[in-house]
Structure 1
């Protein structure tokens, strides 16, 4: 589900549940590329044979890889017309309640907690939950901050 709104109507989003993104499968190739990019080659991520014998029973995605999926998942949920610049301003908090096994499918639910005017634009505070298909707990719970400038 995607919401499209014009820049001048952004304050109306406060409290809006933007729903869920589509599911995406987390692959071993993604995990390996992330390990190369971050120089984090811990065996629970990159050695499938050893990881199957480890605490999670499978190789798992890095928590920060799962968090980084918030970017493409977020763009599925909200499009703002009439902006010159969109900025990922940061995060207020992040937790990783459950690991994401390679091959799992994840999606994001987003609820707009606040919309505040900032110099030259608006800041949207979004409660984001990255869910694992069939999982009892989410993979990521985060509060994202995004800025939109006209």
Structure 2
């Protein structure tokens, strides 16, 4: 657990890394995301269709990983001495590999830079979602978060 405390120099966390527990990507989670996002591409929700593609099965939506980031990040870091924290944006996001349903994934959090801003701290991160037994990451995002006193 990375603890970013308002009373400490945030730069001491530059280069810090934390890795989440594995989570299973079920077809139900993919279908629920498809329903919530209105993205019902058959590659994600139709197992019969997906079997005919090079992937061989349904796969996660790329943005599914960004949607799960807040809940997974809660297990990897904590802001203390701040009133609240927000996602500030994403500078770059890529989906180098597909994650088939029935596969486990985890999040590797890397802190690139944590620096003071007026009223708080800004943290630039690499969010690297890894699939079990998949060589390339399934999602890599350079994301910004801010915490305010």
**TM-score category (smaller protein):** over 0.9
Partner of 1:39: 38
* Structure 2 counterpart of 1:12: 12
Paired position in structure 1 for 2:100: 101
- SS of equivalent residue, structure 1 residue 29: helix
Task: Report the secondary structure of 2:113's partner residue.
Answer: strand
Equivalent residue pairs, number: 148
Runs of 4+ in 1 over 4 A off after TM superposition: none
Which residue number in structure 2 is paired with residue 116 of structure 1?
Answer: 115
With the length of structure 1 as denominator, give the TM-score of the two structures. 0.93
Structure 1, unpaired ranges of 5+: none
Q: TM-score scaled to structure 2, two decimals?
A: 0.93
Q: Secondary structure at the match of 1:56?
A: coil
Shift of residue 11, structure 1, vs aligned partner = 2.8
Moved more, 36-45 or 63-72: 63-72
Q: Which runs of 5+ in 2 are unaligned?
A: none
Could you give the per-residue CA deviations for residues 17-59 of structure 1, whole angstroms, max 9, x where no partner exists? 2x21111111111111111111111110000122112120000
Secondary structure of 1:8 counterpart: coil
